[in-house]
Amino acid sequence: MRLEKRAQVSQAMLWGSPILAVLLTLVAGALLFVVMGYDPFASLRAFFVSPINSTYGLSELAVKASPLVLIATGLAVGFRAGVWNIGAEGQLTLGAIAGGGVALLFWGMEGPWILPLMCLAAIGGGMAWAAIPAFLRVRLGVSEILVSLMLAYVALLLLSALVYGPWKNPEAFNFPETRVFSDSALLPIILPGTRLHLGVAVTVVVVLLAWFFMTRTLFGYQVRVVGAAPAAARYAGFSRDRMVWISLLASGGLAGLAGLFEVAGPVGGQLLPTISPGYGFTAIIVAFLGRLNPLGILLAGLVVALSYLGGENAQIEVGLPQAVTGVFQGMLLFFLLATDVLVRYRVRFGAPRLAGA
């Protein structure tokens, strides 16, 4: 048995395969539930329907998806250009530190200028952290994959050092948390009674802008050429180094912004030793699930966020173990990759036929 490249890849199937993958996951998931002795329909409903059958549920979905989408949108630029930023978690953390640092600096003060300043600091923080692998890659040819990944752990330790050390809230009985930011340093809630914050709206705007830049401008074209055909890009005079810088700075800046949106939003306006349950890493999956296309990423982010919400809800409603969430996400990726391969290749049985035979 072997794989043979298809001469023509169906465009419809290219877009259809993620949907097919979701459907296959649902079917396989239902079978899994039956084998485990749970009612498959009740389980699937608890997993995919009841978490979002209310306004509050939908708002939570958006809140959970927002950081994933924002980070993945930035990462996709680099991934298209063949620049592999694996350390968005670190850039997110630095963004939270820089933006949160501004909030703490002006603690006790109010003013409409605080939040924008925090956002700028967060973008700058994320960019600065991403600039390290960019510099090392361009100047010394060091793999940005390794550097960005290792720096993620450095960033987390830096955050711990600050929260356990100089930034610790003096009134919190030596527990690791900073003071709670002033009201002006918190993201406004768009929908009263929920946690839907301004950052979610910003994410949607960023997605639309990214879509425009990637598909409708020369810059987007350059990114795609550099990734798809490096030799042709060189010939056309597109600078590979410039692309490394742009990709890492863009993804770092957006990850930093996502970090700030977490601490000034759902985290509740303070820095804690852990501010992200691995959004920077999960966003890599979201980026690929979304076909590296900003609009696709928006959908993918919602699907992945739903799998988290569903996992929690299935534990509450049906008593499914938490591991099922991981199995579901694993199956989704498996089916996506499988359908992807089959869209691009066909399976042939038997030995390859000789030419002319």
Partner 1 sequence: MKLSRRHLLGTAAAGSALAALPAASARAQSPLKVGFVYVGPKGDNGWSFRHDVARLAVEEALGDKVETRYVENVPEGPDAERVIRQLAATGQGLIYTTSFGFMNPTLKVAKQFPDVKFEHATGYVTTPNVAVYNARFYEGRSVIGTMAAMMSKKGVAGYIGSVPIPEVVMGIDAFTLAAQKVNPDFRTVVVWVNSWHDPGKEADAAKALFDQGVDIIAQHTDSAAPLQVAEQRGLYGFGQAADQSAFAPEGQLTAIVDNWGPYYIKRTQEVIDGTWETHDVWYGLKEGMVSLAPYGPAVPPDVAAAADKVKAGIIDGSYQPFGGPIMDQSGAKRVAEGETIPDGDLLKLDWYVKGVQA
Q: Hey, what long-range contacts does 304-309 have (CB within 8 A, 24 or more apart)?
A: 304/65, 304/68, 304/329, 305/61, 305/64, 305/65, 305/68, 306/48, 306/51, 306/52, 306/61, 307/47, 307/332, 308/64, 309/51, 309/52, 309/57, 309/60, 309/61, 309/64
Binding letters toward partner 1, positions 133-162, x by CB under 8 A: -----------------------xx--x--
Rule CB under 8 A: say whether 164 interacts with partner 1.
yes
Rule CB under 8 A: say whether 175 interacts with partner 1.
yes
Of 63, 138, 131, give the one whose Cα is nearest residue 91.
131
- In the chain, the amino acid numbered 77 is V
Rule CB under 8 A: say whether 60 interacts with partner 1.
yes
Nearer to partner 1, 19 or 316 (CB): 316
Rule CB under 8 A: say whether 195 interacts with partner 1.
yes
Nearer to partner 1, 147 or 320 (CB): 320
Report the C-alpha gap between 62 and 198 in whole angstroms.
11
Nearer to partner 1, 16 or 319 (CB): 319
Report the C-alpha gap between 299 and 198 in whole angstroms.
19
Nearer to partner 1, 128 or 202 (CB): 202
Report the C-alpha gap between 227 and 240 in whole angstroms.
9
- Stretch in the footprint of partner 1 (CB under 8 A) among 14-22, 73-81, 240-248, 309-317: 309-317
Least Cβ distance, residue 278 to partner 1 (angstroms): 9
Rule CB under 8 A: say whether 273 interacts with partner 1.
yes
Rule CB under 8 A: say whether 36 interacts with partner 1.
no
Report the C-alpha gap between 264 and 197 in whole angstroms.
9
Using H for helix, E for strand and C for coil, what is the string for 31-44? HHHHHHCCCHHHHH
- Stretch in the footprint of partner 1 (CB under 8 A) among 56-64, 110-118, 287-295, 331-339: 56-64
Report the C-alpha gap between 222 and 19 in whole angstroms.
29
Angle at 342 between CA 336 and CA 347, to 5 degrees: 145
Rule CB under 8 A: say whether 46 interacts with partner 1.
no
φ, ψ of residue 211 to 5 degrees: the values are -60, -45
Least Cβ distance, residue 322 to partner 1 (angstroms): 5
Of 297, 83, 336, 303, give the one whose Cα is nearest residue 208.
297
**Residue 35 burial (CB < 10 Å; 0-12/13-18/19+)?**
exposed
Rule CB under 8 A: say whether 95 interacts with partner 1.
no
Rule CB under 8 A: say whether 89 interacts with partner 1.
no
Q: Binding residues for partner 1, how many (CB under 8 A)?
A: 34
User: Given candidates 106, 167, 181, 308, which one binds partner 1 under the rule CB under 8 A?
Assistant: 308
- Stretch in the footprint of partner 1 (CB under 8 A) among 96-104, 113-121, 267-275, 288-296: 267-275
Rule CB under 8 A: say whether 203 interacts with partner 1.
no
User: Given candidates 16, 111, 188, 277, which one binds partner 1 under the rule CB under 8 A?
Assistant: 277
Nearer to partner 1, 64 or 137 (CB): 64
Q: Which residues bind partner 1 (CB under 8 A)?
A: 60, 63-64, 156-157, 160, 164, 173-176, 195, 262, 265-268, 272-277, 308-309, 312-313, 315-317, 319, 321-323
